[in-house]
Chain A
Amino acid sequence: VAHRRFVLLGIAGVIALVVGLTVTSLGENLTYYLYPTEAVAQRADFPDGERFRLAGTVVGGTMVQTDDEVIFDVTDGGATIGVVLTEPAPSLLAEEVPVLLEGAWSADHFVADDVLIRHDENYEVPDEGGAYPDQ
């Protein structure tokens, strides 16, 4: 009986440890995904430097490439946020393309250091406007 109790206690301990570790690790590794409207509404919850992911579409005609930055606006149809991308822009980044940016607020704009292009599962063309001219 003592043996059985020992085993049960051990199993309960392991389960408690696993659940505890899982919950704490989960809390530390969550990234929030916000659309521009939500990001503006929840500005107070995400102070400067607090990282989150911003999902939206690059507004046409706003993209400006400088030596070490790319500047453009991102919108979800509601709010529009100015983005400064500090990484070199991947070739996939273009106007009117849905993007997922990782970064943080800095005053009134979003500083991103990572871009993930959101592939539409069906690969429907968002814009026939020739974002990729022949070279």
Chain B
Amino acid sequence: MLALLGSAGVVAAIIGSVLLVIRGIRSARGGTADLVTPSKLILAGAVIAMAAMQIALLTDDFSLAYLANQHSTTTPFPFDVATAWAALEGSIVLWGLILAVFIWAVAARHRKAPDQLEAAALAVMGGVAVFFFGLMITVANPFEVCVDALATGCAGSSPWPFATVDVPADGPGPNPLLQNHYMMAIHPPILYIGYVGLTVPFAYAIGALALAVPGPEWLRRSHRSTLVAWSFLALGIVLGGWWAYEVLSWGGYWAWDPVENASLMPWLVATAFLHSGLVQQRRGMLQAWNFILVISAFSLTILGTFLTRSGTINSVHSFTQSAIGPALLGFLVLVLVGSFTLFSMRSHLVATSPRLESFVSREGGFLVNNLLLAVFAFIVLIGTTYPLLLEAFSGTRVGVGEPFFNRLAVPLSFLLLLTMGFGPVTPWRGAAPGLLWRRLRAPTLIALSLGIVTVLGVTRLGWVVLAVVLGTFVAGAIVGLLVEQTRIRAEKTGRPLLAEARTVIGNDKSFWAGQLSHLGVALVAVGMAFAANLPLNAQVVLAPGDSVDFAGYGLVYDAPFRRSEPNRVVQGARIDVYQGDRRITTLEPRLNLYGSNPSPIVTPAVMRRAGGDLYLTLRRTDSETIELDLDTSPMVWLIWLGGLTAAAGGFWSLAARKADRAVTQEVVTTDV
């Protein structure tokens, strides 16, 4: 029943997508066509598909093969809901739903003020939707019914909803790593909003190229979606790092894993695009570059999905085991070849840039920033795909080590920070001599003094000191600029400084929202430098009653414990943490055993403190002793705070643009 409902939803979405392509093209050519109905059909179909999946999960309907292999009656809330995106087929349903919402949002705006560019963009989005919903009835069907049940799980399935079902009594449950932390319930949807959101600027770009209107209009129209995508990607990356830190038990948050890189690459390119889009809107420069960036960003989301979802990462040889890999790779090639062919056909229309008047200008800064971000993304791309290419062509399996990424990404990040300090205080077109020094004098002095304090009081490690100096420089430049503009206004109006500061920010919210994101990135950089360079760690073997001193704390191993929960067996050690004679907390590092899976999931216990987290990992237990990893990562919280701040800047900018538009509309109404 639910298989039928879900499949019907998918089919409805496909019909809607095909209709949207046809009508979108007709409308883009100057005809009139209703684009809202097909987009509503896509949305309705996608909602029905997701609803069918959720009802199945909440009612333990194991007639669906996906549930039989990914779900279990013992899977607790919210992990039963999140099981909808715990594996490939379900995650594509989520992808389709988010895409449908974006399509519907664009179509709803289109109805208010129809134009050809938007119609063309909707046609492109319809095409993308045809592909993703098409996956759901071909190579990644989430609504296949189980026709050959195992004791737990399903050995054979059929895409035909009316096939005779063989319902297993239970399933193995989702991947243990995915039910070990509630973050898994919210992290994938957030990341997917980021990925899918990049479809919108891509669709506008292709629409603009197809209609031969390469002016800044497509940028203006897709700016909001780019911001949505960027903010959610940023949030998703931070939450992913936090999840890794809380769950993966090596005390780190980022390992240049292909799955992580898959989200970082589009974010880097989207960051470049947000800046270079501004240059085109303000100065008419970088038109061709913006097309390249937005096509790359979208392609990288498809590449990321391919890397993470086709099994190719484990081995190129598993590529052919599922048809999803070839399907995604084929789509990626189609997107790249199609987009760049169209781009080269229209390149004569893409205006040549007005000359850069001075490198010491806002646009000059943006050029440098774009160059750095593009190089950054390129390096991550090479490091991520090189092993795949090498194995595909020569059969040799290699891994690219973290040092490769760190060696190149760390200096690039510092250069980016430096640009971030200079850029915002530099005016468009060119700076008057002495202006930069006047604006940057105080931040430089403060940054250098804080650097000296760090050297004298904390550490002499070069990277940490440099991160403190540059991070302070960025923050100082932003604050300095705010102070300067506030003072100028206050001198004119005589109003109090605080009120004027609010006016200054209120007059250009997008700019200050961007600066908030910069501040967040600076915090992340400082946090990373501390966490990477000043950790302490030790391994100890303890018997009950034993104690050990570590990082200023006294740790006493109280006793082991073991408890059975519906979906897992938790085996752990109670460790009392003392500061001096006072017990401040009890930590419970654990080994969680899920179902019949013999490998326990090592679950660390973390005590969060401003100076540094105490991070305990249980390595093994036997009848008498436990083996415990002790780690501290100083200032790791700065990374979470900074990442959230950067994302908040994006969301604030979104809200600000909405408010700006509301104000404009009000003005228009009064004029009438």
A residues apposed to B, CB below 8 Å = 3, 7, 11, 14, 18, 21-22, 25-26, 28-34, 53, 88-92, 94, 97, 117, 119, 121-123, 125-128, 131-132, 135
* Smallest beta-carbon distance B606→chain A, Å: 19
Distance A65 CA – B571 CA, assembled complex (angstroms): 22
Which residues from chain B contact A89 at a C-beta distance below 8 Å?
620
Q: A25-B407, A123-B175 are in contact. Are A32 and B371 (CB under 8 A)?
A: no
Q: A92-B602, A132-B600 are in contact. Are A26 and B383 (CB under 8 A)?
A: yes
| Option from B172, B355, B375 in Cβ contact (under 8 Å) with A123 | B172
A125, B598: Cβ atoms closer than 8 Å: yes
* Smallest beta-carbon distance A73→chain B, Å: 19
Which residues from chain B contact A21 at a C-beta distance below 8 Å?
408
* Smallest beta-carbon distance B427→chain A, Å: 21
In the complex, whether B397 has a CB less than 8 A from a CB of chain A is: yes
Q: List 28 A-B contacts (CB under 8 A).
A: A14-B371, A18-B378, A21-B408, A22-B378, A22-B379, A25-B403, A28-B404, A29-B404, A30-B399, A31-B400, A32-B397, A32-B398, A34-B397, A88-B627, A91-B600, A91-B602, A91-B618, A91-B620, A117-B599, A119-B177, A119-B599, A122-B69, A123-B175, A123-B176, A123-B597, A132-B600, A135-B571, A135-B621
B382, A26: Cβ atoms closer than 8 Å: yes
Q: Which residue of A lies closest to B401 (CB)?
A: A29
Q: A26-B382, A29-B403, A92-B599 are in contact. Are A135 and B622 (CB under 8 A)?
A: yes
Which of B311, B355, B396 has the largest number of chain A CB atoms within 10 A? B396
In the complex, whether B669 has a CB less than 8 A from a CB of chain A is: no
A26, B386: Cβ atoms closer than 8 Å: yes
In the complex, whether B623 has a CB less than 8 A from a CB of chain A is: yes
- Interchain residue pairs A-B with the least CB separation, the first 6: A29-B404, A91-B620, A33-B397, A29-B401, A31-B399, A30-B398
A91, B598: Cβ atoms closer than 8 Å: no
Per DSSP, chain B at the interface is: mixed
Which of A3, A119, A126 has the largest number of chain B CB atoms within 10 A? A119
B residues apposed to A, CB below 8 Å = 69, 172, 175-177, 311, 314, 355-356, 371, 375, 378-379, 382-383, 386, 396-404, 407-408, 539, 562, 571, 591, 593-594, 596-600, 602, 618-623, 627
B598, A90: Cβ atoms closer than 8 Å: no
Distance A21 CA – B408 CA, assembled complex (angstroms): 8
* Smallest beta-carbon distance B377→chain A, Å: 11
A33, B399: Cβ atoms closer than 8 Å: yes
* Smallest beta-carbon distance B378→chain A, Å: 7
* Smallest beta-carbon distance A29→chain B, Å: 4
Which residues from chain A contact B596 at a C-beta distance below 8 Å?
125, 128
Which residues from chain B contact A117 at a C-beta distance below 8 Å?
599
Q: Which residue of B lies closest to A35 (CB)?
A: B397
Q: Which residue of B lies closest to A98 (CB)?
A: B599
Q: Which residue of B lies closest to A131 (CB)?
A: B598
Which residues from chain A contact B383 at a C-beta distance below 8 Å?
26
Which of B402, B407, B593 has the largest number of chain A CB atoms within 10 A? B407
Q: A92-B599, A122-B175 are in contact. List 15 more A-B contacts (CB 8 A).
A: A7-B356, A11-B371, A22-B379, A26-B386, A28-B404, A30-B399, A32-B399, A33-B398, A88-B539, A90-B602, A97-B599, A123-B172, A123-B176, A135-B571, A135-B623
Distance A11 CA – B331 CA, assembled complex (angstroms): 32
Distance A59 CA – B576 CA, assembled complex (angstroms): 39
Which residues from chain A contact B382 at a C-beta distance below 8 Å?
22, 26
Distance A30 CA – B621 CA, assembled complex (angstroms): 35
Which residues from chain B contact A22 at a C-beta distance below 8 Å?
378-379, 382, 408
A18, B375: Cβ atoms closer than 8 Å: yes
| Option from A34, A88, A92, A121 in Cβ contact (under 8 Å) with B600 | A92
Total number of residue pairs linking A and B with CB closer than 8 Å: 97
A26, B597: Cβ atoms closer than 8 Å: no
| Option from A25, A122, A132 in Cβ contact (under 8 Å) with B408 | A25
Distance A7 CA – B356 CA, assembled complex (angstroms): 10
Which of A14, A22, A88, A91 has the largest number of chain B CB atoms within 10 A? A91
* Smallest beta-carbon distance A49→chain B, Å: 17
* Smallest beta-carbon distance B33→chain A, Å: 44
B598, A126: Cβ atoms closer than 8 Å: yes
Which residues from chain A contact B620 at a C-beta distance below 8 Å?
88-91
Distance A14 CA – B172 CA, assembled complex (angstroms): 53
Which residues from chain A contact B621 at a C-beta distance below 8 Å?
91, 135
A127, B378: Cβ atoms closer than 8 Å: no
Distance A26 CA – B400 CA, assembled complex (angstroms): 7
Q: A22-B408, A88-B539 are in contact. Are A94 and B598 (CB under 8 A)?
A: yes
Q: Which residue of A lies closest to B620 (CB)?
A: A91
Which residues from chain A contact B399 at a C-beta distance below 8 Å?
30-33, 53
Distance A40 CA – B403 CA, assembled complex (angstroms): 28
Q: Which residue of B lies closest to A88 (CB)?
A: B627
B598, A121: Cβ atoms closer than 8 Å: no
Q: Which residue of A lies closest to B176 (CB)?
A: A123
Distance A29 CA – B599 CA, assembled complex (angstroms): 30
Which residues from chain B contact A26 at a C-beta distance below 8 Å?
382-383, 386, 400, 404
Which residues from chain A contact B600 at a C-beta distance below 8 Å?
91-92, 132
Which residues from chain A contact B379 at a C-beta distance below 8 Å?
18, 22
* Smallest beta-carbon distance A78→chain B, Å: 16
Distance A73 CA – B602 CA, assembled complex (angstroms): 24
Q: Which residue of A lies closest to B411 (CB)?
A: A21
Distance A4 CA – B621 CA, assembled complex (angstroms): 67
Which residues from chain A contact B403 at a C-beta distance below 8 Å?
25, 28-29
A121, B599: Cβ atoms closer than 8 Å: no
Which of A7, A18, A31 has the largest number of chain B CB atoms within 10 A? A18
Distance A21 CA – B571 CA, assembled complex (angstroms): 47
Distance A130 CA – B438 CA, assembled complex (angstroms): 71
* Smallest beta-carbon distance B387→chain A, Å: 8
Which residues from chain A contact B627 at a C-beta distance below 8 Å?
88
Distance A111 CA – B66 CA, assembled complex (angstroms): 42
Which residues from chain A contact B407 at a C-beta distance below 8 Å?
25, 29
| Option from A3, A31, A132, A135 in Cβ contact (under 8 Å) with B598 | A132
Distance A110 CA – B351 CA, assembled complex (angstroms): 62
Q: Which residue of A lies closest to B599 (CB)?
A: A92
A88, B400: Cβ atoms closer than 8 Å: no
Distance A125 CA – B587 CA, assembled complex (angstroms): 30
* Smallest beta-carbon distance B463→chain A, Å: 17
* Smallest beta-carbon distance B307→chain A, Å: 13
Distance A122 CA – B594 CA, assembled complex (angstroms): 13
